[in-house]
Amino acid sequence: MGAGLGVFSTYGRSDARGAWYHGIPKWLPLPLRDRSSVTLSGRLGYALPFNDIASFDVGGGVLNGCLNDETCTLNEIDDDLTLPLTERYFLGGLGAYQLRGFKARTVGPRRAVLYDTTFQFSSGKQGRYTPVGRLNDLNGNSVCVDNNNVTYPINTQGNNNGKCNDLSDKQIDDFEDLDETDVVGGNQFISLSGEYRFPIVESLGLVGILFFDTGNAFAEGDFLFDVAEWRFGTGVGVLWFSPFGPLEAFVGFPLDKLSVEDSVTFEFSVGGSAL
């Protein structure tokens, strides 16, 4: 498969979905048991890029390489993430990449937000990037100023006690400031859902749903079945088999909320749902 104008990226992709529906066992004394059901569903996806970082024009600038451990040209930063952003997996919300309890496209690998350090130098385009909150001193060292109104140039005795992210940060626990990160998506994902469905108004085709979702997207080289890295969401919803097609509405709650995530999410879908 190719993607992009002139096909600047080539990759293979495989997605799979499946679901299992079953009535409530007779030994389980639940209300409306005879007309209720349990649904278990799962989704998997994997994309394998057939290019490397050299295939992309990432603006290497006049100088290549790194000024220090925290200031590098783009081709030196995460050079193993070779699947384009538009083709990466982002989880959250409803749909093919369902993970209710989280907003759409907000769950997956994160990286520090970067900025171009060109303005720090008086001559030439350097094309080197560093995490937001950092500056480079006159000796070429990276200093964490963390938005404390320190102006450039600074020396090594400047404020280096802020909370700044590093280029090497990849796992959630690595980051000092999640507000200064972006979700970059993964090349693989897993999403599992369990639902208890019960009738609300049978004559109208209105069904209530209690759900539990789990899963995550993972970057290249990460282990897809690392359950310790899966995210979890739960909540309630309604499904209406209307004359215009299925309509769904859900209120979800993340069970392992990050500081940058909402405590409650609302999702609405028209015309069908994912497995």
The pLDDT tens digits of the residues spanning 109-130 come to: 999 999 988 766 544 455 889 9
Which residues in the chain come in under a pLDDT of 50?
4-6, 62, 122-124, 151-153, 155-159
Strand 206-218 and strand 231-242: pairing? antiparallel
pTM score over 0.95: no
Determine the pLDDT at residue 158.
Answer: 46
The pLDDT tens digits of the residues spanning 40-78 come to: 999 999 999 887 766 666 555 545 689 899 999 888 898
Determine the pLDDT at residue 148.
Answer: 53
Buried b / exposed e along 50-88 (16+ C-beta atoms within 10 A): eeeeeeeebeebeeeebbbebbbbbbbbbeebbbbeebb
Show the domains of the chain with their CATH numbers: 2-51+88-109+183-270 (2.40.160.50)
Determine the pLDDT at residue 190.
Answer: 98
DSSP 168: T
Concatenating the DSSP letter of every residue in 94-128 gives: SSTT-BTTS-TT-BS-EEE-EEEGGGG-SSS---E
**Bridge partner residues of 104 (DSSP):** none
Determine the pLDDT at residue 2.
Answer: 52
72 in helix, strand or coil? strand
